[in-house]
Structure 1
Amino acid sequence: MQATIKEYRPKPAARKDGFWRALGLPSRGAKLHEALSAGISYKVYTKLTEISGLESKELARYVVIPPATLKRRADTGYFKPAEGDRLYRFAEVYKSAMDLFEGDKAKAKEWLLSPVRGLGGRRPVEMVATTAGAEAVLDLIGRLEHGVFA
């Protein structure tokens, strides 16, 4: 009897920009800058809550958008540039966490909401409101992906 060797065939990879397309945002470059400067749509916020599995109030707290402001943005349909920038930073960190956990949304969310030793015991979601904080989280994710723990 001859053993059959099953050939490994990876599943077709999702488009690299699929996450950003689902959000309705460009991932980088001049188009992203234009979108943030013009004010991103409130729909991006609702899609981000759906994708991340966070409650609307939770996400607003992490990106420092007070409830009254969130309601005004829902009414006008757009966020101001600084608010949109904070939403983009959260999306970038969330996407990187999902990539770290190979697309497992539950594990990515759990990691983002848990104290992390590499961030001095802070939760990654607590750090996304500032550029420096988001960069620290992204740097840690990069180090974890490459097996560098120091």
Structure 2
Amino acid sequence: MHEALREGVSYVVYKQLVSVAGLEHQELARYLVIPPATLRRRAKAGKFKVEESDRLYRFAEVLKAAIDLFEGDRERAVHWLSNPVRGLGDRRPVDMLATSAEVEAVLDLIGRLEHGVFA
């Protein structure tokens, strides 16, 4: 995976994430802090740069963890990701994907929820 991230994730992966998450292309780009013009350039080039690829990977990791938390219910997982969560200071998990520290906080909360640890 680390090699794929270094080489740049294919734009096809982005389209697959959009489909799995049930989001609009621009909506996912906004969550990943990828401006619309940059997204168009990446679509034309066919792949993302390293930093963008890393953010795509982090989104996929959080999405998978949320789907697992909701026992495979993708709609509930996406709903949870898109709404303020008390355990994240009333921030939406999708708004916490720009940095690895934020992603770690989301994944930590998901882990605690899976194990029934709320504090």
Letter in 2 for 1:53: G
Query: Is 2:68 the partner of 1:99?
Result: yes
Query: Is 2:37 the partner of 1:68?
Result: yes
For residues 13-24 of structure 1, what are the structure 2 equivalents within 5 Å? Answer: none
Match of 1:58 in 2: 27
Query: Is 2:18 the partner of 1:49?
Result: yes
Q: What is the count of residue pairs matched by the alignment?
A: 119
Structure 1, unpaired ranges of 5+: 1-31
Letter in 1 for 2:99: T
For residues 1-150 of structure 1, what are the structure 2 equivalents within 5 Å? Answer: 32-150=1-119
How far apart, CA to CA, are the structure 2 residues paired with 1:93 and 1:129?
Answer: 12
User: Comparing both chains, which one has the higher relative contact order based on Cα–Cα distances under 8 Å and sequence gaps of 6 or more?
Assistant: 2
How far apart, CA to CA, are the structure 1 residues paired with 2:101 and 2:113?
Answer: 18
Letter in 2 for 1:99: D
Letter in 1 for 2:91: R
Tell me the C-alpha RMSD between the 2 structures. Answer: 0.4
Q: TM-score, normalised by structure 2?
A: 0.99
SS of corresponding position for 1:99: helix
How far apart, CA to CA, are the structure 2 residues paired with 1:109 and 1:76?
Answer: 29
Please tell me whether Structure 1 or Structure 2 has the larger radius of gyration of its CA atoms: 1
Q: TM-score, normalised by structure 1?
A: 0.79
Which of the two has greater helix per residue? Answer: 2
Identity among equivalent positions (%) equals 69
How far apart, CA to CA, are the structure 1 residues paired with 2:70 and 2:97?
Answer: 19
Runs of 4+ in 1 over 3 A off after TM superposition: none
